[in-house]
Structures are given as structure tokens and as C-alpha cells.
Amino acid sequence: MSATHSTTCVIHPSATLGADALLGEGCVIGPHARIGTGCRIGHHVVIHADTVVGDHVRIDDHASLGKLPMRAANSATTKEQELPPLTIGATSIVGTGVVLYRGATIGEKVLMADLCTIRENVTIGHGTIVGRGVTVENLCSIGRYCKLESECYITAYSTLEDRVFVAPGVVTSNDNFVGRTAERFKHFKGVTIRRGGRVGAGSVLLPGVTVGEDALVAAGSVVTQDVPARTIVMGSPARPLREVPVEQLLENQGWVDA
């Protein structure tokens, strides 16, 4: 069956819609965009030029996909550039009001909850959850099967490996010079969270810190130094408390990638 859409949609003639795709009212599909088979697209969704949406993706109302970066005259990190199209893997879900930039690469089975933003030059791995209202700034690499819970903030130049868990309201930062000195442009450094690292609710991670493999930052901590692997840290500034309990280690969860 061919795709179905109302006369209220504006679809560029060079765009392609997969079989059985279903569009809501008032959608706008730009030049050369490609929508996969069986997609379910809500109302007033905007899909900009060249975006590639995989098969069986759900996109909810008022999402805007493939947006071009904005540049402020005085922004420290965003330069003009050629960006590849936004791509979204099969069976991913895009929530209401989500904003995805051109130059992001989203894997399969990724959940992007309502009102999250994913910037340019970001990759998101297979099966990851990007929670409600989350920001992933530009130049980040997010692994497979991560959970970035509601309202956490991932600063530019960060790396999160597979199976990382970031709790609600976590804030990360990347500028130790807090907006001063020309030196700082050489030293912008996001955070690194190694495989299976976990960060508790409302914690703050300072620029450049690394949370080690399978380590755990307790809720409400302020992390000013690297966190050793398999260690729980707590407090402000966060200090080592004890080892992560064996039954909580990643290797003992019996999880299989799928």
C-alpha cells in the first residue's frame, strides 16, 4: 500500500515516502527527504531537506527534524560547516516537540522522548533512551543501550560509552575557564563516562572529568576529579565511598545486546 497523507501536508516532489507510511495533518517534508516503510508520523511534523528516516519509525506531533544550526556572533563552539543529513535508524521513536539537527546520526531502536534536543555532529547508539527534555549538545558520542534520563544535560565534546546511565537532572560542563581567556578555546573538554558508568540524580560533573567503567556517582554529588572504575563516589566534592556491589556490576546483569 502506498503512503497516506492529507491535503494539508506540503511534501516536496523530490521527497520519497515508503509504503504504508502514514502522515498526520499539516506535515511539511522538504527536498530529498526519505521516509521509510510503515512510519507513523503525527501532526504538524517538519522534516527538513535530505533527512533519512528508517522504516517503522514513530514521530509525534510538532517534532522538527534536520534543522540547520543557528550561529551566534559570539558563540564559542559553533562554526560554519557542511553537515551530512540527519539519519534516524529503523524502529526508533521521536517524541512530541523533539528537535533533531542536521548532522546527527541516530541508531535503531532509539527512544527520543518529548522535547529533547540532539545537536549536530552527534551519534547516538542502538537502543539508547534519550529522556524527556534532555539536551545532547554538539560533538558528542553516545553509546549503545544508554539511558539519559529526563532533563539531564550533556555538554558539547562529551563521550558516553555503552550502557551508561545518567539520572534525571544531571548537569555536565566543559569550560574550566567559565567563559574567559582566549586560552579556553584550546581546553574545552566535555565529560567522559566509560562503559556502564552511572551518575545519580541531580549530580554535577565538572569539565573534563572521567567516570570510570561501571563506576557510580551518588545522587546530588559534585564531581571534580576522575572517578575510578567500579567505585562509588559521593558528596561535594565527591569522594570515594566504597566498591560498587558485585550484584550491580554490568557483567552480572545477564544483559544481551539485541
Closer CB to a copy of itself, 21 or 115, in the complex: 115
CB atoms within 10 A of CB 75: 10
Residue whose entry in the numeric block shows the C-alpha cell 556572533: 73
Closer CB to a copy of itself, 19 or 68, in the complex: 68
Closer CB to a copy of itself, 4 or 6, in the complex: 6
In angstroms, give the least distance from the CB of 236 to a copy of itself: 6
In angstroms, give the least distance from the CB of 43 to a copy of itself: 5
Closer CB to a copy of itself, 64 or 105, in the complex: 64
Q: Burial of 71 by CB count in 10 Å (0-12 exposed, 13-18 middle, 19+ buried)?
A: exposed
In 3D space, the residue among 169, 159, 145, 174 whose CA is nearest the CA of residue 211 turns out to be 159
> CB neighbours of 40 closer than 8 A, spacing ≥ 6?
21, 22, 57, 58, 59
Q: Burial of 205 by CB count in 10 Å (0-12 exposed, 13-18 middle, 19+ buried)?
A: buried
In angstroms, give the least distance from the CB of 96 to a copy of itself: 5
Amino acid at 89: G
Q: Measured between alpha carbons, how far apart are the two ends of the chain, in Å?
A: 30
In angstroms, give the least distance from the CB of 56 to a copy of itself: 12
Helix (H, G, I), strand (E, B) or coil at 115: coil
In angstroms, give the least distance from the CB of 1 to a copy of itself: 21
Closer CB to a copy of itself, 141 or 173, in the complex: 173
